Amino acid sequence: MLRKYRSPGQRHRRRCQLMGGTAKLNLGIIGLGQAGAMVIDSITQTPDLPWELVAGADPRPQARDSFAAEFGRAFPDAESLCRDGGVDAVYIASPSWLHAEHVEIAAHHGKHIVCEKPIALSVPEGVRLVEAARRGGIALLAGHTHSFDAPIVAMARLVQSGELGAIRSINCWNYNEFNHRPRPLSELKATHGPVLNQGPHHVDIVRQICGAPLRSVRATTIPDGVTGVEGGYTAWLQFENGVPATIVYDGRSLFDTAELFDWVGESGGRRNPASNAQSRSAFEALMHRPAEERDRELDSGKESGRYGGATAGRLANALVGYETPYQPFFGLNVVACENGAIRQSPSGLYVYTRDGRSELPVDQSCNGRIAELVELHEAIVSGRPPFHDGAWGLATLEVCFAMLESADTGKEVFLNLQASS
């Protein structure tokens, strides 16, 4: 399962340059929930994207009706969509426990794939999916959206250019209200709270910036007293080249890292400073209701953000406190190099050297989900694997499960599915 490590720099540089004048391919979306709604919203706002959205699949009739009215073909399940010969690739945005099944269905029918995180709910399951993609001769791309964010790509490129000298450490912190957003508790339990849901973003970010394979993980998790599942994690990651990284996540609606960033949030818009306290208070009140009533209310809250719902897409961002678009801010990421340091700014990056602080603007025309689709398109037309391929996604998944193992055993966990140098 080892593979040669490839630097992201050159391929990232081209990622959003393919739009316009490129032959379009046909895309289907499996899962028209909140993630699917955000993918659709990104596509409809990017008219020169080299994809045509032609099909969608979801078990909910109202979602299918809305999709059919706007885009065309709508199917009740992944199998039916993947039998459609007019679909070249699929974006799997279904619930996490269905990812493995849907990847295998798509691979069997020869469809190229972007799969939302996590790509699987166990490492053996992830291995099986990578093999299924290889057997099917299709491109499988791990959709860990925030490693595609333009500031993260620019940060990796600057570090690996050597302009600031050798990299010394990476530290990433994200505090927010993740555990108390409207969703059935079964979803939180399936992903161990944020560990398998948000952890892939964090792990991908540090892997991409460092540009070397990981060696080992030591981690702890913190409980969320409101939901009864993991509320966050702290992990120490050691790279083969000796560089350390820390990733810290706390989704318990207490402190919010956006406060350090002029209240710019995860999607690049301003957050309401009161939203965390409001989310926690509302969630705590729901937890005192009978289980059936509580789950019905939580699912109803999430339903409004699914495709065709009242708060789907850009409207959803406005209602949870986003107003003005800036660069996305998935927590604070600080990279220390021999001769300087880097962190995000609202418009790109702040670079710190002996001469002081300067700002490096970063192009904002291509968001993470669009960058995923452009990378997949390039892989299909060039015949080369995407950088963030199935093996990359599997390596990230291994790290996330190592975090859980280390938290359980109190021991350092050594990795064996990472890329070789």
Helix (H), strand (E) counts: the chain = 14, 15
Residue pLDDT, tens place only, 153-178: 999 999 999 999 999 999 999 999 99
For residue 177, the surrounding DSSP H or E stretch is none
Q: In what side-by-side order are the strands of the sheet with 340-345?
A: 356-361, 348-353, 340-345, 332-337, 167-175, 244-250, 230-239, 214-223, 413-414
Rounded to 5°, angle at Cα 141 from 138 and 144: 170
Domain ranges in the chain are: 9-145+367-389, 148-361
Residue pLDDT, tens place only, 21-80: 578 999 999 999 989 999 999 899 888 899 999 999 999 999 999 999 999 899 999 999
- Out of 33-47, 94-108, 111-125, 341-355, pick the least confident: 33-47
CATH entry 3.40.50.720 includes domain 9-145+367-389: yes
pTM, 2 dp: 0.92
Sign for the CA dihedral angle at 138, 396, 413, 196 comes to: negative
**Total residue count of the chain as it appears in this document:** 421
Which CATH architecture fits 148-361?
A: 2-Layer Sandwich (3.30)
- Predicted local confidence at residue 137, as pLDDT: 95
- Predicted local confidence at residue 21, as pLDDT: 57
- Out of 132-146, 256-270, 345-359, pick the least confident: 256-270
Contact 30, 102 (CB under 8 A): yes
Share of the chain above pLDDT 90, in %: 73
